[in-house]
Amino acid sequence: MQGLTPRKIDLKKDKALTITWSDGSVSVYPIAYLRRMSPSADARELRDQMAHNPLTVLPASAAQGGAIVAESAELVGRYALRIRFSDGHDTGIYSWSYLQEIAPRDNV
């Protein structure tokens, strides 16, 4: 699946991002999953800490009540998508290759 480009991008802000890839395959990313898997440096560091210590203290934004939603999304050049989340996080740039790498395996 590596090396594909999106043919269609559909963002349901409170549910999921759906991408139809150039080979016709479809990936569905729940919004909370995308936020958790943000490629930003701080999110990667938090995932690494949690992998080594399951008792890692989460930042206040991660522990807040209520569901995370995507407030907006914008294309970054021809290679990525930037998503702004309701907790204010917007520093992760989701390249097409990263989205393919983290695609939930139970998709269509």
Q: What's the confidence (pLDDT) of residue 89? A: 87
Per the prediction, the chain carries an average pLDDT of: 84
Q: 104: closest CA among 28, 1, 9?
A: 28
Distances (CA, A) of 63 to 10, 13, 16, 39, 57: 27, 20, 20, 19, 9
pLDDT digits (tens, 9 = 90+) for 30-70: 999 999 888 876 766 766 776 777 775 655 554 455 688 99
Strand 6-12 and strand 70-76: the pairing is: unpaired
| Residues 94 and 82 sit within 8 Å (Cβ to Cβ) | yes
pLDDT digits (tens, 9 = 90+) for 1-18: 568 999 999 999 999 999
107 is a domain residue: no
Q: Residue 75: which pLDDT band, with cuts at 50, 70 and 90?
A: very high
Domain count, the chain: 1
72 is a domain residue: yes
Give the tokens for residue 99: 């989205």
CA distance 103 to 88: 23
61 is a domain residue: no
88 is a domain residue: yes
Q: What's the confidence (pLDDT) of residue 63? A: 46
Q: What CATH number is given to the structural domain containing 92?
A: 3.30.2020.30
